[in-house]
A = this chain, B = another copy of it.
Amino acid sequence: MRATVIHAPHDIRVEEVPDPRVERPGDAVVRVVRACICGSDLWAYRGESARKPGQRIGHEFLGVVEETGSEVTGLRAGDLVVAPFMWSDGTCDYCVEGLNTSCVHGGFWGSIGEHGQSDGGQGEAVRVPYADGTLVKLPADALSDDRLLTALLSLSDVLGTGHHAAVGAGVRPGSTVAVVGDGAVGLCGVMAARRLGAERIIALGRHQARTDIARLFGATDVVAARGDEAVAAVRELTGGQGAHAVIEAVGTEQSMRTAVGVTRDGGAIGYVGVPHGSGTGLDLGEMFDRNIALRGGVAPVRAYIPELLPGVLDGTLDPSPVFDLAVGLDGVPGGYRAMDDRTALKVLVRP
Protein backbone atom coordinates (compact mmCIF):
# COMPACT_ATOMS: atom_id res chain seq x y z
CA MET A 1 0.00 0.00 0.00
CA ARG A 2 0.99 3.64 -0.06
CA ALA A 3 1.59 5.62 3.12
CA THR A 4 3.23 8.80 4.36
CA VAL A 5 6.82 8.59 5.55
CA ILE A 6 9.08 11.22 7.12
CA HIS A 7 12.71 11.00 6.08
CA ALA A 8 14.05 14.14 7.66
CA PRO A 9 12.75 17.55 8.71
CA HIS A 10 10.75 19.00 5.81
CA ASP A 11 11.14 15.74 3.87
CA ILE A 12 7.74 14.05 3.80
CA ARG A 13 7.08 11.47 1.08
CA VAL A 14 4.30 9.11 0.09
CA GLU A 15 5.79 5.69 -0.57
CA GLU A 16 5.03 2.05 -1.11
CA VAL A 17 5.12 0.21 2.23
CA PRO A 18 4.12 -3.33 3.27
CA ASP A 19 0.38 -3.99 3.30
CA PRO A 20 -0.96 -4.22 6.85
CA ARG A 21 -2.37 -7.58 7.90
CA VAL A 22 -3.73 -9.12 11.06
CA GLU A 23 -0.66 -10.12 13.05
CA ARG A 24 -2.17 -10.75 16.45
CA PRO A 25 -5.63 -12.05 17.34
CA GLY A 26 -6.79 -8.67 18.70
CA ASP A 27 -5.84 -6.79 15.52
CA ALA A 28 -8.04 -5.32 12.86
CA VAL A 29 -7.06 -3.90 9.50
CA VAL A 30 -8.82 -0.66 8.63
CA ARG A 31 -8.98 0.83 5.14
CA VAL A 32 -8.56 4.60 5.68
CA VAL A 33 -11.41 6.75 4.34
CA ARG A 34 -10.40 10.05 5.93
CA ALA A 35 -7.16 11.11 7.61
CA CYS A 36 -5.61 14.45 8.34
CA ILE A 37 -2.49 16.35 9.36
CA CYS A 38 -2.16 17.52 12.96
CA GLY A 39 -0.47 20.59 14.35
CA SER A 40 1.60 18.21 16.44
CA ASP A 41 2.85 16.49 13.26
CA LEU A 42 4.53 19.79 12.49
CA TRP A 43 6.87 19.39 15.47
CA ALA A 44 8.29 16.33 13.66
CA TYR A 45 8.16 18.10 10.30
CA ARG A 46 10.18 20.99 11.71
CA GLY A 47 12.69 18.67 13.36
CA GLU A 48 11.68 19.71 16.87
CA SER A 49 10.51 16.20 17.72
CA ALA A 50 12.87 13.39 16.74
CA ARG A 51 11.80 10.79 14.18
CA LYS A 52 13.80 7.97 12.62
CA PRO A 53 14.47 8.51 8.91
CA GLY A 54 11.80 6.56 7.07
CA GLN A 55 9.36 6.50 9.99
CA ARG A 56 5.61 6.47 9.30
CA ILE A 57 3.53 9.48 10.38
CA GLY A 58 -0.09 10.53 10.94
CA HIS A 59 -2.32 9.65 13.86
CA GLU A 60 -5.88 10.65 12.95
CA PHE A 61 -8.09 8.51 10.74
CA LEU A 62 -11.43 6.89 10.25
CA GLY A 63 -12.20 4.09 7.88
CA VAL A 64 -13.80 0.75 7.16
CA VAL A 65 -12.78 -2.49 8.84
CA GLU A 66 -11.40 -4.92 6.29
CA GLU A 67 -10.33 -7.83 8.42
CA THR A 68 -10.36 -8.74 12.11
CA GLY A 69 -8.30 -11.13 14.23
CA SER A 70 -9.82 -14.16 15.91
CA GLU A 71 -10.25 -12.43 19.29
CA VAL A 72 -11.99 -9.31 18.02
CA THR A 73 -15.60 -9.54 19.10
CA GLY A 74 -17.05 -6.04 18.75
CA LEU A 75 -16.25 -5.31 15.13
CA ARG A 76 -16.48 -6.98 11.77
CA ALA A 77 -15.53 -6.34 8.19
CA GLY A 78 -17.49 -3.48 6.69
CA ASP A 79 -17.90 -1.51 9.94
CA LEU A 80 -17.18 2.20 9.74
CA VAL A 81 -14.91 3.13 12.65
CA VAL A 82 -12.98 6.07 14.05
CA ALA A 83 -9.59 5.63 15.72
CA PRO A 84 -8.35 7.82 18.56
CA PHE A 85 -4.79 9.07 18.15
CA MET A 86 -3.43 6.26 20.34
CA TRP A 87 -4.41 2.64 20.57
CA SER A 88 -5.35 1.19 23.96
CA ASP A 89 -6.49 -2.18 25.26
CA GLY A 90 -9.69 -0.91 26.84
CA THR A 91 -9.32 -3.23 29.82
CA CYS A 92 -6.40 -2.09 32.01
CA ASP A 93 -6.88 0.02 35.15
CA TYR A 94 -6.19 3.25 33.26
CA CYS A 95 -8.52 2.45 30.36
CA VAL A 96 -11.31 1.52 32.75
CA GLU A 97 -10.83 4.90 34.47
CA GLY A 98 -10.93 6.70 31.14
CA LEU A 99 -7.23 7.53 30.98
CA ASN A 100 -6.59 5.45 27.86
CA THR A 101 -3.49 7.48 27.05
CA SER A 102 -1.80 5.74 30.00
CA CYS A 103 -2.90 2.27 28.83
CA VAL A 104 -0.31 -0.34 29.78
CA HIS A 105 -0.50 -1.69 26.21
CA GLY A 106 -1.05 1.65 24.50
CA GLY A 107 0.93 3.23 21.71
CA PHE A 108 1.04 5.92 19.06
CA TRP A 109 0.30 5.41 15.38
CA GLY A 110 3.51 5.53 13.40
CA SER A 111 5.69 4.74 16.41
CA ILE A 112 8.43 2.15 16.41
CA GLY A 113 8.02 -0.20 19.36
CA GLU A 114 8.87 -3.71 20.44
CA HIS A 115 6.70 -5.08 17.64
CA GLY A 116 8.40 -2.91 15.04
CA GLN A 117 7.03 -0.07 12.94
CA SER A 118 3.31 0.54 13.41
CA ASP A 119 1.23 2.01 10.64
CA GLY A 120 0.62 5.75 10.61
CA GLY A 121 -2.75 7.28 9.93
CA GLN A 122 -1.76 9.05 6.71
CA GLY A 123 -1.86 5.98 4.48
CA GLU A 124 -4.21 3.65 2.65
CA ALA A 125 -4.71 1.27 5.56
CA VAL A 126 -3.73 0.68 9.18
CA ARG A 127 -3.18 -2.38 11.32
CA VAL A 128 -4.98 -1.55 14.58
CA PRO A 129 -3.79 -3.35 17.74
CA TYR A 130 -6.38 -4.01 20.46
CA ALA A 131 -9.10 -3.20 17.95
CA ASP A 132 -11.96 -3.81 20.39
CA GLY A 133 -10.46 -1.37 22.89
CA THR A 134 -9.28 1.17 20.36
CA LEU A 135 -11.88 1.63 17.66
CA VAL A 136 -15.34 3.13 17.99
CA LYS A 137 -18.05 2.05 15.56
CA LEU A 138 -19.89 4.77 13.65
CA PRO A 139 -23.21 4.64 11.79
CA ALA A 140 -22.54 3.18 8.34
CA ASP A 141 -24.67 5.76 6.56
CA ALA A 142 -22.17 8.47 7.53
CA LEU A 143 -20.05 7.10 4.65
CA SER A 144 -22.28 8.87 2.17
CA ASP A 145 -22.18 12.25 4.00
CA ASP A 146 -18.95 14.04 3.25
CA ARG A 147 -19.48 16.87 5.76
CA LEU A 148 -20.38 14.43 8.52
CA LEU A 149 -17.39 12.20 7.78
CA THR A 150 -15.13 15.22 8.21
CA ALA A 151 -16.80 16.18 11.46
CA LEU A 152 -16.51 12.62 12.76
CA LEU A 153 -12.80 12.60 11.94
CA SER A 154 -12.35 15.34 14.56
CA LEU A 155 -13.20 12.73 17.21
CA SER A 156 -9.86 11.18 16.42
CA ASP A 157 -8.02 14.03 18.08
CA VAL A 158 -8.88 17.71 17.91
CA LEU A 159 -12.42 17.71 19.27
CA GLY A 160 -11.57 15.37 22.15
CA THR A 161 -8.37 17.30 22.83
CA GLY A 162 -10.21 20.61 22.93
CA HIS A 163 -12.72 18.98 25.28
CA HIS A 164 -9.90 17.70 27.52
CA ALA A 165 -8.53 21.23 27.78
CA ALA A 166 -11.94 22.63 28.67
CA VAL A 167 -12.43 19.94 31.32
CA GLY A 168 -8.93 20.55 32.69
CA ALA A 169 -9.59 24.28 32.84
CA GLY A 170 -12.70 23.56 34.86
CA VAL A 171 -15.20 25.13 32.45
CA ARG A 172 -18.66 25.15 33.99
CA PRO A 173 -21.98 26.76 33.16
CA GLY A 174 -21.43 30.51 33.40
CA SER A 175 -17.61 30.36 33.20
CA THR A 176 -15.49 33.00 31.59
CA VAL A 177 -12.97 31.20 29.39
CA ALA A 178 -9.87 32.37 27.54
CA VAL A 179 -8.41 30.25 24.76
CA VAL A 180 -4.71 30.60 23.91
CA GLY A 181 -4.05 29.15 20.46
CA ASP A 182 -6.03 29.56 17.26
CA GLY A 183 -5.17 26.21 15.72
CA ALA A 184 -7.69 23.43 15.25
CA VAL A 185 -7.37 22.32 18.89
CA GLY A 186 -7.86 25.81 20.26
CA LEU A 187 -10.91 26.28 18.04
CA CYS A 188 -12.30 22.94 19.20
CA GLY A 189 -11.58 24.12 22.74
CA VAL A 190 -13.89 27.08 22.06
CA MET A 191 -16.58 24.66 20.90
CA ALA A 192 -16.06 22.38 23.90
CA ALA A 193 -16.23 25.32 26.30
CA ARG A 194 -19.51 26.46 24.76
CA ARG A 195 -20.84 22.90 25.05
CA LEU A 196 -19.93 22.89 28.77
CA GLY A 197 -21.92 26.07 29.30
CA ALA A 198 -19.32 28.84 29.25
CA GLU A 199 -20.98 32.22 29.20
CA ARG A 200 -18.07 34.17 27.84
CA ILE A 201 -15.33 32.78 25.61
CA ILE A 202 -12.38 35.00 24.72
CA ALA A 203 -10.37 33.65 21.78
CA LEU A 204 -6.81 34.91 21.35
CA GLY A 205 -5.80 35.00 17.71
CA ARG A 206 -4.68 37.30 14.93
CA HIS A 207 -5.76 35.51 11.77
CA GLN A 208 -9.24 36.53 10.77
CA ALA A 209 -10.03 33.28 9.00
CA ARG A 210 -9.38 31.53 12.27
CA THR A 211 -11.06 33.98 14.58
CA ASP A 212 -14.10 33.86 12.29
CA ILE A 213 -14.27 30.13 12.99
CA ALA A 214 -13.78 30.85 16.69
CA ARG A 215 -16.84 33.11 16.61
CA LEU A 216 -18.76 30.47 14.66
CA PHE A 217 -17.83 27.95 17.37
CA GLY A 218 -18.97 30.19 20.20
CA ALA A 219 -16.30 32.78 20.98
CA THR A 220 -17.91 35.95 22.31
CA ASP A 221 -14.73 38.06 22.14
CA VAL A 222 -11.54 38.02 20.10
CA VAL A 223 -8.21 39.42 21.28
CA ALA A 224 -5.77 39.96 18.44
CA ALA A 225 -2.83 41.09 20.59
CA ARG A 226 -0.02 38.84 21.77
CA GLY A 227 2.09 38.48 24.91
CA ASP A 228 1.75 41.20 27.55
CA GLU A 229 -0.70 43.13 25.37
CA ALA A 230 -2.94 40.08 25.11
CA VAL A 231 -2.81 39.68 28.89
CA ALA A 232 -3.76 43.33 29.35
CA ALA A 233 -6.61 43.01 26.83
CA VAL A 234 -8.08 39.92 28.48
CA ARG A 235 -7.84 41.60 31.88
CA GLU A 236 -9.60 44.64 30.54
CA LEU A 237 -12.40 42.44 29.23
CA THR A 238 -12.77 40.73 32.61
CA GLY A 239 -12.85 43.58 35.07
CA GLY A 240 -9.13 43.33 35.66
CA GLN A 241 -9.27 39.80 36.99
CA GLY A 242 -8.67 37.44 34.07
CA ALA A 243 -10.51 34.26 33.09
CA HIS A 244 -11.28 31.52 35.57
CA ALA A 245 -10.78 28.82 32.95
CA VAL A 246 -7.97 29.06 30.40
CA ILE A 247 -7.32 26.67 27.54
CA GLU A 248 -3.66 26.41 26.48
CA ALA A 249 -3.48 24.80 23.05
CA VAL A 250 -0.02 25.69 21.77
CA GLY A 251 2.68 24.33 24.07
CA THR A 252 5.39 26.94 23.76
CA GLU A 253 7.04 28.99 26.48
CA GLN A 254 5.35 32.14 25.20
CA SER A 255 1.89 30.62 25.08
CA MET A 256 2.17 29.14 28.57
CA ARG A 257 3.30 32.51 29.91
CA THR A 258 0.30 34.16 28.25
CA ALA A 259 -1.98 31.49 29.68
CA VAL A 260 -0.71 32.13 33.22
CA GLY A 261 -1.08 35.87 32.68
CA VAL A 262 -4.72 35.71 31.61
CA THR A 263 -5.81 33.31 34.35
CA ARG A 264 -7.79 34.72 37.23
CA ASP A 265 -6.47 34.07 40.74
CA GLY A 266 -7.78 30.68 41.84
CA GLY A 267 -8.45 29.64 38.24
CA ALA A 268 -7.06 26.81 36.15
CA ILE A 269 -5.17 26.29 32.92
CA GLY A 270 -6.25 23.26 30.91
CA TYR A 271 -3.17 22.53 28.84
CA VAL A 272 -3.12 20.30 25.81
CA GLY A 273 -0.42 21.89 23.66
CA VAL A 274 2.46 19.41 23.53
CA PRO A 275 5.10 21.12 25.70
CA HIS A 276 8.18 22.30 23.87
CA GLY A 277 10.76 23.57 26.32
CA SER A 278 10.30 21.57 29.50
CA GLY A 279 9.12 23.69 32.36
CA THR A 280 9.92 26.92 30.58
CA GLY A 281 7.31 29.59 30.58
CA LEU A 282 5.85 28.28 33.79
CA ASP A 283 6.39 30.94 36.39
CA LEU A 284 5.71 28.71 39.34
CA GLY A 285 6.13 31.67 41.69
CA GLU A 286 3.29 33.56 40.03
CA MET A 287 1.14 30.45 39.86
CA PHE A 288 1.78 29.88 43.58
CA ASP A 289 0.98 33.43 44.64
CA ARG A 290 -2.24 33.41 42.64
CA ASN A 291 -3.32 29.78 43.20
CA ILE A 292 -3.41 28.95 39.52
CA ALA A 293 -3.89 25.26 38.76
CA LEU A 294 -2.47 23.41 35.78
CA ARG A 295 -4.39 20.38 34.61
CA GLY A 296 -4.36 18.53 31.34
CA GLY A 297 -1.91 16.67 29.18
CA VAL A 298 -2.25 14.22 26.36
CA ALA A 299 -5.99 13.87 25.87
CA PRO A 300 -7.63 10.48 26.46
CA VAL A 301 -9.86 11.07 23.44
CA ARG A 302 -10.91 7.40 23.30
CA ALA A 303 -12.78 7.93 26.57
CA TYR A 304 -14.48 11.07 25.29
CA ILE A 305 -15.78 9.69 21.97
CA PRO A 306 -18.98 8.17 23.45
CA GLU A 307 -19.76 11.51 25.13
CA LEU A 308 -19.06 13.68 22.08
CA LEU A 309 -20.30 11.41 19.29
CA PRO A 310 -24.04 12.13 19.68
CA GLY A 311 -23.45 15.87 19.27
CA VAL A 312 -21.39 15.30 16.14
CA LEU A 313 -24.05 13.00 14.69
CA ASP A 314 -26.90 15.42 15.38
CA GLY A 315 -24.89 18.38 14.08
CA THR A 316 -24.74 20.41 17.30
CA LEU A 317 -20.98 19.81 17.31
CA ASP A 318 -19.55 20.42 13.89
CA PRO A 319 -15.81 20.99 13.86
CA SER A 320 -15.61 20.39 10.08
CA PRO A 321 -14.85 24.09 9.35
CA VAL A 322 -11.35 23.63 10.83
CA PHE A 323 -10.50 21.54 7.76
CA ASP A 324 -9.81 24.21 5.18
CA LEU A 325 -7.78 22.23 2.67
CA ALA A 326 -8.44 18.75 1.32
CA VAL A 327 -5.85 16.63 -0.50
CA GLY A 328 -5.41 13.11 -1.77
CA LEU A 329 -2.55 10.98 -0.51
CA ASP A 330 -0.18 12.48 -3.08
CA GLY A 331 -1.02 15.90 -1.73
CA VAL A 332 0.13 15.14 1.83
CA PRO A 333 3.66 16.61 1.47
CA GLY A 334 2.10 19.80 0.13
CA GLY A 335 -0.38 19.71 3.00
CA TYR A 336 2.48 19.75 5.51
CA ARG A 337 4.01 22.72 3.72
CA ALA A 338 0.67 24.55 3.75
CA MET A 339 0.20 24.00 7.47
CA ASP A 340 3.81 24.92 8.20
CA ASP A 341 3.35 28.14 6.21
CA ARG A 342 0.03 28.68 8.01
CA THR A 343 -1.71 28.97 4.65
CA ALA A 344 -3.84 26.01 5.77
CA LEU A 345 -5.39 25.56 9.21
CA LYS A 346 -5.87 21.80 9.06
CA VAL A 347 -5.50 19.52 6.09
CA LEU A 348 -7.97 16.74 5.34
CA VAL A 349 -6.62 13.69 3.52
CA ARG A 350 -8.80 11.47 1.32
CA PRO A 351 -6.50 8.56 0.48
Partner of A284, one of B241, B278, B287: B278
* Contact call B297/A290, Cβ cutoff below 8 A: yes
Would you list 12 pairs from A and B whose C-beta atoms are within 8 A, ordered by A residue?
Answer: A168-B293, A268-B295, A275-B285, A278-B282, A279-B280, A279-B282, A287-B297, A288-B297, A291-B298, A293-B293, A293-B295, A294-B295
Which chain B residues lie closer than 8 Å to A283 at the CB level?
A: 278-279
Contact string against B for A residues 161-177, beta-carbon threshold 8 Å, 1 for contact and 0 otherwise: 00000001000000000
Cα A285 to Cα B271 in complex, Å, equals 11
The number of times this chain is found in the oligomer is: 2
Cα A271 to Cα B94 in complex, Å, equals 24
Q: How many residues of A contact B (CB 8 A)?
A: 35
* Contact call B297/A97, Cβ cutoff below 8 A: no
Q: Scan residues 211-270 of chain A and give those whose CB is less than 8 A from a CB of chain B.
A: 241, 265-266, 268
When C-beta atoms are compared, the residue in chain B nearest to A288 turns out to be B297
Shortest CB-to-CB span from A259 to chain B, Å, is 12
* Contact call B287/A292, Cβ cutoff below 8 A: no
Shortest CB-to-CB span from A28 to chain B, Å, is 26
Cα A293 to Cα B278 in complex, Å, equals 15
Which chain B residues lie closer than 8 Å to A271 at the CB level?
A: 288
Most chain B CB inside 10 Å of its own CB: which residue of A266, A289, A297: A297
When C-beta atoms are compared, the residue in chain B nearest to A241 turns out to be B93
Which chain B residues lie closer than 8 Å to A278 at the CB level?
A: 282-285
Cα A99 to Cα B292 in complex, Å, equals 11
* Contact call B99/A291, Cβ cutoff below 8 A: yes
Cα A265 to Cα B106 in complex, Å, equals 14
Q: Scan residues 284-316 of chain A and give those whose CB is less than 8 A from a CB of chain B.
A: 284-285, 287-298, 300
A102 contacts the other chain (Cβ, under 8 Å)?
yes
Which chain B residues lie closer than 8 Å to A291 at the CB level?
A: 99, 101-102, 296-298, 300
* Contact call B297/A294, Cβ cutoff below 8 A: no
Which chain B residues lie closer than 8 Å to A99 at the CB level?
A: 265-266, 291
6 other A-B residue contacts (CB within 8 Å) besides A291-B296, A291-B297, A293-B293: A93-B241, A94-B266, A278-B283, A279-B282, A287-B294, A289-B298
Which chain B residues lie closer than 8 Å to A72 at the CB level?
A: none
A274-B293 CB under 8 A given contacts A97-B266, A279-B280, A283-B279? no
A288-B265 CB under 8 A given contacts A294-B294, A294-B295? no
Shortest CB-to-CB span from A43 to chain B, Å, is 12
* Contact call B284/A292, Cβ cutoff below 8 A: no
A289-B280 CB under 8 A given contacts A94-B266, A265-B102? no
* Contact call A288/B274, Cβ cutoff below 8 A: yes
Cα A94 to Cα B274 in complex, Å, equals 32
When C-beta atoms are compared, the residue in chain B nearest to A268 turns out to be B295
